[in-house]
Structure 1
Amino acid sequence: MATYKELLKQQEALAIQIEAARKSEIADAVAKVRAVIEEYGLSAADVFPSGRRTARAPRAGSKVPPKYRDPATGQTWTGRGKEPKWIEGKDRTPFLIA
């Protein structure tokens, strides 16, 4: 079994090998990308669009108008999530907001 110091030396050697392999693979990838760009006559705008969208997606957590109202207290409920005590187990029709 290797000692702690020997393992640290192996780790350093591996880190150097990893970085060299990473640089080599990045260089290969960049060369491939440049070849494809040249082959198809692409521009930077073709590869990296501005990111502007024509229509925005609705954001999560947007407000929803209330659907039910308690006539006694005036409290409202959207119909989402846990039912409030005042409507729990009852027919919801009389509580609908017109």
Structure 2
Amino acid sequence: MDIDTLSLAELKSLRARVDRAINSFEERKKKEALKAVEEIAREKGFTLAELTEAAQTKTRKPVRPKYANPADASQTWTGRGRKPLWVQAALADGKTLDDLAI
């Protein structure tokens, strides 16, 4: 096929047909891969849903704060991660974490 001799309408039609063919090919390959993965899971005694559910990350529950700023009780810290500036300032002033405990 010599695409240089095609009109604009023919080229657009050809592009639409190629796009449909690509999408169809990708869908077939996805279905084949899904079928293969399901078969492997079944051979191992699982369903695909069980395996994908197990692979999902669990969301963590919020941690209760352990420390509060004596000057502003709305500022709290769980004790995890970096120390907030108010904790650093209190420690620099000679206080301990026990002094800031809730």
- TM interval, shorter chain, is 0.3 to 0.5
Using structure 2 for the length normalisation, give the TM-score: 0.45
1 or 2, which has the higher helix percentage?
2
Using structure 1 for the length normalisation, give the TM-score: 0.46
